[in-house]
A and B are shown apart, each in its own frame.
Chain A
Amino acid sequence: MIVGLGGAGGIAAHVLTHAGIEVVALEAGPNLDATKAAFDEIGNDRRQRLSSPKARLEIPTWRPSASEAAKPSPWSTLGVNAVGGSTLHYAGLNPRFLPWNFESRRRTIERYGDGAVPAGSTLADWPLTYAELEPFYDAVEYAIGVAGSAGNVRGCVGPTGNPFEGPRERNYPMRPLRRSGWTELTAGAARRLDWHPFPAPAALNSEPFNGNPECTYCGFCDSNCCHRNAKGATSATVIPRALETGLLTIESSARVVAIEVDGDGLARGVTYVKSGEERFQPARIVLLAGFTYENSRLLLASRSTAWPDGLSNNHGQVGQHYMVHIIPRVLGLFPGRALNIFSGPWSQATCLDDWNADNFDHTGLGFVGGGMLAASHEMKPIGTAGGPLPATVPRWGSEWKGWLKRNAQSIGSASAQLDSLSYETNRLDLDPVATDAYGVPRVRITYETRDHERRGAAFLRGKLETWLLEAGASETWSGEDFIVEARHAYGGTRMGDSPETSVADKQGFSHEIPNVGFLGASLFPTTGGHNPTLTVQALAWRTAQHLTESWATRMPSG
């Protein structure tokens, strides 16, 4: 069975049912009819109504270090609770990781020496390579529908895609989303800087795909559901196909509160609450796919004689190596120009990997890795008016109004996702006091941004400024040094070869319990400098496929 039928769970359900395996998926949220979705910046972007069934009711606590008291998290951790999960409302920016990401520790030390890894970091390599994951990236891109332009097909580097990408077997299933005045303005600037811009790979339909229509560039994509099912949410793509096999049972509005084990310490199912009553769902295999926070939380909350510190936690690794993306963002003013970027989705964008991974010489910079830069569409009105302002502009009053009137449609922005390391002291555990409505302890986040990430963010911010100025901005500004994006959350059940330093093996299964597996970014040893979802889904596909092959050896006997 699968806990959570979102971006990762949906992929696994699809793979397993197509292999003839019966799957029960317990999803805490409802089944939504995306065609009833509204273009709603207040309901979605601001009030995050899609998180109401669960996430908003159990907001994690947070403390910077173990010596301080925890209080409600200052950074949003909210995802969508519904069949399809956060893929219902995500922007769908869907690049693959680079080959370097899978062995960033080894290659960093090789090139820059041991000292390049900051003290206190628990940076570790992935237990698999890009080449091993490539067939699964391909499978997801074709199943969900990702629109893009290949950069490297079987070693042949083409002119229109990302020249830094790892080799792929074949092109994307759909051509990129439409280019626009803004995407071409920023692409032209990047080329003049001798950078290598490419159209953002997007889990959106650039043309009709697998029975779903094409995107119409409405500008209500990120944080909003797609009313046309032109976004590759798992609920619009793989989940319906899984249901067609007749082998998938979905229990929606079903909230899992504990994983249950048998006398041998193997999982035997989960306890969940639906319609006010507690029920038990038996299972021979349990896959946790409730998002990063929940995956660790359920393990830690499921204690027994065999698992006194939580399921699969006899080595104390559950909750460890927690990471979030650090995101610098820069805005620029293009006086007198109407950029028209209120239109179009966030993933209608120009991207570049020149400042990502080890694609540039880091000597003397004081950090490793980097991040993908992106200049996107989708500036909604409240976000525009309420966004960061140049230092000389007041934040309210007549002068502010006048500035907005002159400039609101002339503001463009670019941001970067910094590859942010894991550290010994950044982790997830259970809050000793705060619980949710079911009596399950809330997650407690212990997290502090380190100097290493501050240096990386400052460096990328400089590149973002350079980019916008080259594109014609008369001035650039930021609100804060960087945003802590706690919805790009990683770790807690990280993959690795050793149970001493990881929770999951290279197939995504617990080192300690053969019949518990993990889906989601809780598996990631590193954040990488790209959006997580495509890699989440490729791993989920791989874990599910492995399960179809190893089924008999993982199940409890009898």
Chain B
Amino acid sequence: MKALLIARRELSGYLRTLSGYVVIAVILALNGLFFNAYALGGASKRSAEVLSQFFYYSSGFTIVASVFISMRLLAEERQTGTLPLLYSSPLRDRDIVLGKFLAGLAFLALYVSCTLYMPLLVLVNGKVSFGHVAAGYLGLLLLGSASLAVGTFGSALARNQLLAAITSAVMLVALILCWLLARITEQPLADVFSAMSLWNQHFPPFQSGLVHVRDVVYYLLVTYVALFAATRVLEARRWR
């Protein structure tokens, strides 16, 4: 499958250049600091509360990581002039987008797996439910997948990586802030905005160790819609 071929090359690109490691290292360091200061710090808590706090902060850092990981996906191809190689090869545009996204997701999964030491630290001094950890990590991956797909769309729209990061960040912040719009609008708009909210409505259950089908479906739907939009952008570029 051509998408996997593209994904493999893209992933090796991440692993061979310094920028990918820098992104992971910086965000991991910040995530660790927040875990130490806010999740572990303060008054004594139960292990489940610490774990919930860990997922709370990690979800934010996962969104930030997804912006930095996705910014290069398509914008870099455009910036360095390698997009014609993909356009002139016997590939469908969706293969290009899917391949790029899968590479980004694999790299994001690498970052997320590097945070595992924090729940393990909780395990050392407390009791941890593996179901809680699994649900939390599933939530992080689904949230990361949706954010990365939005980032892929931003990367398809932008001329360079910086613009891609800004565009993606703006779209993600808008999706996150939908819960605010839900508060100030009337029904049925309030319900729509509430359901669209990237974090407030859909991540807290994962944070508490609960997996709801509606939340899984929401993140998968955001991923699909954003990747579909990115594919459309690539198709539209052939007309310009």
Binding partners A and B? no
